[in-house]
A = this chain, B = another copy of it.
Amino acid sequence: MKEHEVTGSAFDGKSADQSAKARLRICSRMEVIPGKELEEKFAKMKAWGMEGAEVNVDLYGREEQIRRALANAGLTAAMTNFGRNPGNIISPDPQERQLGIDSMKRKLESAGKVGCAGMLYVPLFGAPGNGETNQSIRARLVEVLHPLAEFALEHSTAIVFEPLCRMETSFLNRVSDAAAIARDVDSDGMKVMADFYHMSVEETDMMGAVISGGRYLTHVHLAGGLSDPRRSIPGQNRSRFVEGFRGLKYIGYDRFCSFECGIRGDREVEIPRSIEFLKREWELAVV
């Protein structure tokens, strides 16, 4: 275990505030956007002022098609997700584990070809299997992820931890926890994401959580908080984003914030409306 000392800009007596380089760059997961084909969705997203897309679809065999469609629309490949694939990289069973490793490598290769900055990964849904503890899962995860994260890096992408609230997993509920594991994996190919929906359940302070994500933070999911089981699109419930955005500004975040949410009403109206709401929240977030 290495010591992680207090370093950086602190020592010159200046603020650690990096807000000058922070930008609100919005993208979306595919199911949120109306339209049948990806091309149709991408065109709408671009017209609404989005700068990228979270292509949470099967990429395998159509990498070049998706890459070209994004380029044609003038969008960046923000992120993809591992999804439900064969195997499990943290299974105690070596065969199951190898299957998971192979699945993940295949997805990472596809992600790299499309140009995705990373691939979202949830280590565990639900509760751990018999005899497993968070400690045993963490230890296996750190061990198995190091070479995979290096593999991701070789393919110009990254593995990105997705913390979920405790109703969805009993392992990895907080951004700081994901960041600490990413740090121990010790590869530039290992990152974390922050989801404002899950954070509304698990985090005591949005800004604190985001700062703890710090240099590991590579993606953000946008949705309203727990009191609304629909995970409403920002602006459609009472959840505010100023405190989280304040954290993003503080660390100079310039990666994507992505819609992962439900929408009531006409999507063609409600999505642009939400983007305007988010821009106002961003302006209110004074560091």
Residues on A facing B (Cβ under 8 Å): 1, 3-8, 10-11, 13-16, 127-128, 133-135, 170, 174, 176-177, 179-180, 182-183, 200-214, 216, 225-227, 238-244, 246, 283-287
Instruction: Report chain B residues within 8 Å CB of A241.
Output: 6
- Residues of B near A286 (CB, < 8 A) are 13-15
In the complex, residue of chain B having the shortest beta-carbon distance to the beta carbon of A127: B135
Closest 9 CB pairs of A and B: A208-B211, A208-B212, A10-B242, A179-B204, A6-B240, A3-B226, A6-B243, A3-B227, A176-B176
| Number of identical protomers | 2
A14 CA to B183 CA, complexed, in Å: 33
Shortest distance in angstroms between A249's beta carbon and chain B's nearest beta carbon? Answer: 11
Q: Is the CB of A176 within 8 A of B201?
A: no
- 9 additional A-B pairs beyond A10-B243, A128-B133, beta carbons within 8 Å, are A1-B226, A3-B201, A10-B285, A11-B240, A16-B246, A174-B177, A176-B205, A176-B208, A212-B212
Which residues of B lie under 8 Å from residue A200 when comparing CB positions? 3-6
Residues of B with C-beta under 8 A to A14 = 286
Q: Assuming the A-B contacts A134-B133, A200-B4, A242-B10, are A287 and B15 also in contact, with contact meaning beta carbons closer than 8 angstroms in the complex?
A: yes
Return the contact of A209 from the options B16, B176, B226 (Cβ within 8 A): B176
Q: Would you give 20 A-B contacts (Cβ < 8 Å), ordered by A?
A: A1-B201, A3-B200, A3-B225, A3-B226, A4-B201, A5-B200, A5-B240, A6-B241, A11-B242, A15-B286, A16-B246, A133-B134, A174-B174, A174-B180, A176-B209, A176-B212, A204-B216, A205-B211, A205-B214, A208-B211
